Amino acid sequence: MNDTGRLCQALALRLHCGAESERLRGNLARLANGARLWVEEIPDGADSRLAEVRREREMSRPADPRTGPGARAVLLRYADGTEELVVVAHRAVAEPYDLARALLGEAAGLSVRPAEQTAEREAELRAALAELDRGPAPEWGLGETGAATVGHRSFAVPAHAEVPTEALLRAALGLVLARCTGQSEVVVGRDAEHSVEFSAAPSQTVAEYLEVAGGAGPGSGRAPVVGLTVAPTAEMISGDGVKAEPFESRPFLAPVHPMSLYLAGDGSTVLSGSCVHRHAAFGDAAVEWFTGMLTTAHRALVTAAPDTPVGELSLFDDERRQELAELGGLGQDLAVPRERIEEAVRRRAERTPDAAAVTCEGETLTYRQLDRRADRYAAGLRGHGVAPGDRVGVCLERSLDLVVVLLAVLKAGAAYVPMDPAYPGERLAFTAEDAGLQLVVTRSESFPRLEGVLLVGPAALDGPGRARRGPGQPRDSGTPPRVSPDGAAYVIYTSGSTGRPKGVVVPHRNVAALLAATEGDFALGGEDVWTLFHSSAFDFSVWEIWGCLMTGGKLVVVPYWASRDPAEFAALLERERVTVLSQTPSAFAQLAQADRESRITGSVRLVVFGGEPLDTRPLRFWLDRHPERDCRLVNMYGITETTVHVTAQTVDRRAALSGSRSVGRPLPGWHVYVLDPEGRPLPPGVPGEICVGGAGVAGQYLNRPELTAQRFVPDPHAPGLMYRSGDRGRLLPDGRLEHLGRLDNQVKLRGFRVELDEIRARLLDAPSVTAAAVVLRQGQEADTAGARLDAYVVLRPEVADQARTGATEEVRQHAARFLPAHMVPSTVTALPALPLTPNGKVDAERLPLPLEGRSDGAEEEPAGAGDDVASRLRAVWEEVFGFRVGLDDDFFALGGNSLLGVRLLAALKAAGMPGFPLPQLYLHRTVRQLAPLLAQEGVSA
């Protein structure tokens, strides 16, 4: 980096009485180690555009003491007789003002620093710059890494009669920095070597804060990203018959800090400032917002009552605030039909009655058949006492029946509450009770029997049911009741931060809006074939089922085993000519792997990613084989509480190559705000909480008024509510959103939203546990399938002495009784105490890696004499898990899952060992159990 310009200052003076160039030249040469005076004749007047250009050029030229005198004077002689002197000097050599005075003969005593001291000082200053440059570019500055250019922006602030310019501007800067960094302690640079640090805490009054900022002490060593220099008013110079009036000064010729602000306190009522910024650290758009906030904060400090808390000062004027809201997508019109889901499906059934609607393992229903069967089931539901506005539990595997039942529930005017049959009984029971279910449609034998909850199989709905009529209730008349699109369509339970899942109530109109917002852009229609890949308890299935059936497509129900076997799933995509595929990135990674092994020659034209953050980089391999013109990839950020999706970003090759984290712009009808913890707006680039308003906002958690009031709050710019997602994100200047993870420690694991606190709460429920922590550990190199949850517990002293493995396994099993499989920690490690940060929080960084493998003494364990298959199998397990494995370690207890199972099969194949049908793994869960199975198969070639 060329630092010379950062260490030079410039001063322009207007000479009122003629200065003789020969005398000036002589003075200068005497003063500054051979510095020269240059005389330039400018063929235009001093007020001309040419004069401005020439003056600017001279004010911008650095003077390097390493290659020359480190100072320069240029006498500009204009055609109108005006004369100006521009003096540039390196900080190691002299102050331009002092040099100008000496040059003009006012203070003969002044001399510049001797050469040897100059060299020393120059080195010191350069070292100070190097120190400044060590800080990384602030992420919120939206700089362009590696850019060598400098941007410039002017701003203006009114002068204040009582508060000194520098104190006031510094105070305004402090407020803006605090908002942008999220920290109330701010540091502001003064020059290469000095900075001040002070608190911009929101509770201070304006009067207190101005005092704090004005009297700020030296910084503690944090490298400031923003510098502020306020030049003092320069006095007229007179001497030797010369009068010279300084009229412009520059404290640096290139930004000293990543962003450097300067302003001349020249006594005017409006002070014009300059902001120069390195593009490597601050983009032009970020600086535009920054200086806008700065002038607004400045005005607010001037106009607010002195006892106003500074936290209440607005950093955005109304116009900017509106601009920010529109940047987040506010105001995009969306025409949504006033229609319920089942009405939209009925409309399709009327239009294309014989088109295939749903197919599952060879059995197909046309739209007419689907509609009629769902009508019958709806009648069956009513026969079981279901009335409009009720909630009906549905706990079915993916099947034709599942789709029919869901549609039937809607036709009955009720809302469905989907539950995954694989969830533990206690969670199912909790859901049934919390949702106040009286009827659950399920085939599961193990669904908990609960007082007042009737369990029926789908078949029982096909025909008159056993009525549970109360006295006076009419028997089902067969006429569908009139119901509104504002009614609830479904209630989906999501992981809750209090340790309790919560039901999100989503109205029909939200789903209609979701389709209205995407149908055109995605060109969804009757030619499309969709997959139903996801559990109905995961709201991605809402998109899959209703997205398909409301647009007239054909829905292919993916059986459980096909959804867990990428090669089988790839074959299904080809067989069924699937066009619209929805996937979590983790699942898609497996599919892409299968595609690499055997290219999917298919018809998939649209892949919608959802459910967890997408790492776009690996997608370039897919794009190599399936170019964008054939298959569009769309990354969608979404939340159950805002109806599946919020934003959409088409991932093209450029995005994949750059590893873009953008999730795109909000769908029409949806809008986002990025707010700080106090709910105040944040400018583009600054991360905060993503809040979502518009057509998708669900509006409530079932029976949780307090939580509802906390998370669903009035939208500041539009009628209705906005949802505070708890997700961390930031807007980009072009209106796209970047999703940066969770504000709290809710994480996504293999597509599931997992609240670590919920798991922790379960662990703490175990009688032996006194403290607990849970962390998500990623597999090697962003291997999402290899991600696992590691739990740490502190056991009660009397338990801690017992065999460690036994005690921790008990804790794990306790957690497994309530938590769904994906939330059960893979490992539980007992610690004498949890490591804490100085603030008293659990220090996740210092939690040790869990014991490798579950069985103690795995090392010594003999595999059995001559049992070659077992030892080879164990080696493959260890390769797949990445740690040592015992012969009796349970595959699933080790953190194995179906994805890793598939990987195990691939590794066996690669090792030249025989494979086995994946379901066998559930029956033979240890190396010792599995080895004989493989031995039977014989070693394949």
Residues near other proteins (CB under 8 A): 1-6, 8, 36, 38, 40, 42-44, 49-50, 53-54, 56-57, 59-64, 67-69, 72, 88, 148-150, 152, 154, 250, 252-255, 274, 276, 278
The minimum distance between CB 177 and other proteins, in angstroms, equals 22
CB 849 within 8 A of CB 895: no
* Residue nearer to other proteins on the CB measure, 62 or 174: 62
Burial (0-12, 13-18, 19+ Cβ within 10 Å), 873 = buried
Least distance from other proteins to the Cβ atom of residue 510, Å: 47
Q: Closest approach of Cβ 149 to other proteins, in Å?
A: 5
CA dihedral sign, ordered 288, 290, 291, 295: positive
| Rg of the chain taking only CA atoms, in angstroms | 35
Choose between 62 and 418: whose C-beta lies nearer to other proteins.
Answer: 62
Shortest separation between residue 208's beta carbon and other proteins, angstroms: 36
Dist CA 141 CA 285 (whole Å): 9
Phi and psi torsions of 237, nearest 5°: -105, 130
Helix (H) or strand (E) holding 797: helix 797-800
Contact 487, 493 (CB under 8 A): no
Least distance to other proteins, CB of residue 3, Å:
8
Minimum CB separation of residue 416 from other proteins in Å reads 59
Closer residue to other proteins (CB): 44 or 185: 44
Report angle CA 794, 799, 804 to the nearest 5 degrees: 75
Select 5 or 507, whichever has its Cβ closest to other proteins: 5
CB of 151 to other proteins, least distance (A): 9
Whether the CB-CB separation of 389 and 414 falls below 8 Å is answered with: yes
Nearer to other proteins, 43 or 452 (CB): 43
CB of 64 to other proteins, least distance (A): 7
Q: Output the smallest distance, CB 86 to other proteins, in A.
A: 12
Helix (H) or strand (E) segment spanning residue 157: strand 150-158
User: What residues have CB less than 8 Å from 2, skipping those under 6 apart?
Assistant: 254
Q: Which residue, 72 or 101, is less far from other proteins as judged by CB?
A: 72
Residue 575 CB, shortest distance to other proteins, in Å, is 49
Nearer CB in complex with other proteins: 28/721: 28
The rounded distance, in Å, linking the Cα atoms of 96 and 251 is 10
Question: Strand 237-239 to strand 242-250: parallel, antiparallel, or no bridges (unpaired)?
Answer: antiparallel
Closer by beta carbon to other proteins, 54 or else 91: 54
Cα distances from 590 to residues 140, 622, 673, in angstroms, run 34, 12, 34
Give least dist CB 57 to other proteins, A: 7
Calpha distance 170→814 (Å, rounded): 57
Q: How is the chain split among helix, strand and coil, in percent rounded to 5?
A: 35, 25, 40
Q: Identify the DSSP state of 581.
A: E
Residue 240 vs 266, nearer CB to other proteins: 266
- 48, β-bridge pairs: none
Rounded (5°) CA angle 11-15-16: 145
C-beta of 64 vs 758, nearer to other proteins? 64
| Residue with smaller CB distance to other proteins, 255 or 547 | 255
Residue 572, H or E segment:
helix 566-575
d(CA 687, CA 750): 25
Would you say 115 or 148 has its CB closer to other proteins? 148
Task: Say if residues 691 and 677 touch (Cβ distance below 8 Å).
Answer: no
Of the two residues 148 and 334, which places its CB atom closer to other proteins in the complex?
148
Shortest gap between Cβ of 646 and other proteins (angstroms)? 38
Give the residue with the Cβ less far from other proteins, 50 or 816: 50
Torsion of CA 693, 696, 698, 699, to 10 degrees: 30
- What is the total residue count of the chain? 941
State which residue, 6 or 671, has the beta carbon closest to other proteins. 6
Q: Which residues contact 220 (CB under 8 A, 6 or more apart)?
A: 187, 197
Closest contact distance (angstroms) between CB of 732 and other proteins is 24
CB contact burial 488-521 (16+ within 10 A = b; e otherwise): bbbbbbbbbbebebbbbbbbbbbbbbbbbbbeee
- The kind and range of the H/E element at 243 are strand 242-250
Helix (H) or strand (E) holding 213: helix 206-214
Which DSSP symbol is given to 836? B
In the structure encoding, which two tokens stand for residue 652, read together?
């093209």
Closest to other proteins by CB, 264 vs 927, is 264
- Provide the CB-side half-sphere exposure for 746 (13 A, CA): 23
Shortest approach of other proteins to residue 192 CB, angstroms?
13
Nearest to 245 by CA among 84, 42, 41, 98: 84
Helix pair angle (425-434, 804-818), 10° resolution: 30
The nearest distance, CB 100 to other proteins, in angstroms, is 18
CB of 2 to other proteins, least distance (A): 4
Count of helix runs (H) and strand runs (E) in the chain: 27, 39
- Min CB(116)–other proteins separation in Å: 19
Rounded Cα distance between 499 and 510, Å, is 27
Q: Which is nearer to other proteins, 88 or 548 (CB)?
A: 88
Judging by beta carbons within 10 Å of its beta carbon (0-12, 13-18, 19+), is residue 815 exposed, middle or buried? buried
Q: Which is nearer to other proteins, 53 or 836 (CB)?
A: 53
Rounded to a whole number of angstroms, the minimum distance from the CB of residue 102 to other proteins is 19
